Amino acid sequence: MAINEAKIITIASVKGGTGKTTTALNLAGTYSLMNKKTLILDFDLYSGGIALSLNIDLKTDLYKLSYDMSVNDYKNIEDYTLKYNENIDIIPAPKDPRYASKIEIKYINLILKKVKPKYDVVIIDTNHFLDATNLLLFDKSNTIMYVMNNSPLDLKNLKSMLAIHKDMEKENYIVVLNESNTHLNEMFNNYDIKNILKNDIDYIIPRTFYNKNINKYVLKGKIMILEKNIRMLNKNTVKVFNKIASDLLER
């Protein structure tokens, strides 16, 4: 059990297809290798893919947790967590997306209060909409990690989002450029990206992390960075994830 309250890291994007969920999983895998007790909360409520990516049977989910809280049937958070390995637990998004809208905002803060004393790190995967749920999660996070690609649409949308953060004087975010799934479509160099965003790129996931057989790992329910052969072939990427993970613990 974690001694201190968990760091809450919310993984976000401004459009689909940036590799947000894969990044969340590999960050969780990195913390697992660091022997940090880690929980993944899947708040991509309508199309969450954490449990599916890990081949975990959906015996419970966020909707059941919030519903039990609403009817005073909640006892222990452990009743709603599913184990991936000795260091990684998950609470998945609703199995049936029709229940996503029934998760009341007021229970999200209660869920976070229940999990924070139990873990070293809580990683929250989200959708790319600026809705009330995400706004609350952003507010409760130690760090918001924006995962972006090298594309005009991503740059324009992220520039607008970062402007909102700056207007609100919120600086608890970092920008991660995921080159591993855009290496065939590079449109801007890093200098151009910084100028367009008016913001630094904090970390870059190297294009060498691209894996044409990624579906094989999804089908087997594997987190890539936990695979020894992947770590051996992608030492630079491992260094990047280790740097991100260590830095976020210090924020």
Any idea what the CATH number is for the domain that residue 123 is in?
A: 3.40.50.300
Q: Which of 122, 121, 115 is nearest to 76 (CA)?
A: 115
Q: Within a domain: residue 85? A: yes
In a domain, 208, yes or no: yes
Tell me how many domains the chain contains: 1
Task: Provide the 3-class DSSP secondary structure of residue 203.
Answer: strand
Per the structure, the complete domain to which residue 57 belongs is given by 7-250
Residue 102 lies in a domain: yes
Report how far apart the first and last C-alpha atoms of the chain are (Å, whole number). Answer: 21
pLDDT for 201: 96
CA within 13 Å, CB half, 101:
1
User: CA–CA separation, 203 vs 32, rounded Å?
Assistant: 20
The answer to whether residue 1 sits within a structural domain is: no
Structure tokens, 51: 């449990």
Residue 76 domain flag: yes
What pLDDT score does 216 carry?
86
Model-level pTM? 0.95
Rounded average pLDDT per 10-residue block, the chain, 251 residues: 81 93 97 98 94 93 97 96 97 94 94 97 94 94 95 92 90 94 70 92 93 84 95 96 97 84
